[in-house]
Amino acid sequence: MASEEIKTVRKLLEAFPEMKGQSVEQLRAQMEGWIGAFPLPEGVSVESVEAAGVPAEWVRGPVAGGDSVFMYLHGGGYALGSAATGRHLAVAISQAAATRVLSLDYRLAPEHPFPAAVDDAMAGYRWLLEQGTAPEKILIGGDSAGGGLTVATLTALRDAGDPMPAGGICISPWVDLTCSSESYSTKAGSDPVILNEDIRWLASLYLGDLDPRTPLASPLFADLKGLPPLLIQVGSEEVLLDDSIGLDQRARKAGVESTLEVWEDMIHVWHVFFQMLKEGRDAIARIGEFFKSRVA
């Protein structure tokens, strides 16, 4: 049975205005307006930086130290969100992993469609290497579109011959922009975050006239051979459930060490509500454990 906490979160989300009828600019402003609802704890530092021309933030929790880095890619369907809207989660990850987080403000569609986001993520990673960070001390991760971008970035870096980071962390990843798997229908009534018409609209903004099965846009269809170990977390009630299941299956088939966690009763990127949800805190703790195990 679902907890009272997740029921409360659902009620909060159901009160949010729908995307339908709003412009990209209105939706972006709306997301930025939510930042104040997530105050940062004491002892956190946020520093703006340019990572090879890509705007970014260094986020450090009170216990962040050492020479490791989590490169974080925010969600928002490739058209919405920013390092600022992802800051709340980046701080929590920094604390759980006891590491610095470089949160990228990669370019957004429709002004900058595919492959701009992939190019920016690759540039951010290469900048970390240029700063002297060893690849085995870096993990790349993100939520939703940022989770899909994580896999696309790892694939693109492999193809370009770059040294691989220590791992990838995919939180409720969007890896199939065809939006055609079974859970897009079977979970439509249980997912309060993603509506099918909204996610297909966002896909069209990012893709333009591109085939949605293009591997670096929809990394579910990419050759995943040679990628570093992956941690994939998804809620059982998400429209994107099958994205994660399919990603895990394809990764394993390609010989990639993949860990899939399906969290019962959880919704899209439930981690954001960790202050209300024990499951959110537990999932972030698991991310911290995975990070530490990879950079140790």
Residue 78, Cβ density class (10 Å: 0-12 exposed, 13-18 middle, ≥19 buried):
buried
List Cα–Cα distances, 98 to 216, 221, 284, in angstroms: 31, 34, 12
Residues in contact with 198: Cβ distance below 8 Å, sequence separation at least 6, in sequence order: 18, 19, 20, 77
Q: Is 268 in the active site?
A: yes
Q: Give the other-Cβ count within 10 Å of 66's Cβ.
A: 12
User: Catalytic one among 218, 238, 258, 271?
Assistant: 238
Query: Distance from first CA to last CA of the chain, Å, rounded?
Result: 38
User: Catalytic one among 82, 94, 103, 144?
Assistant: 144
User: Catalytic one among 74, 268, 271, 279?
Assistant: 268
Q: Is 144 in the active site?
A: yes
Residues involved in catalysis: 144, 238, 268
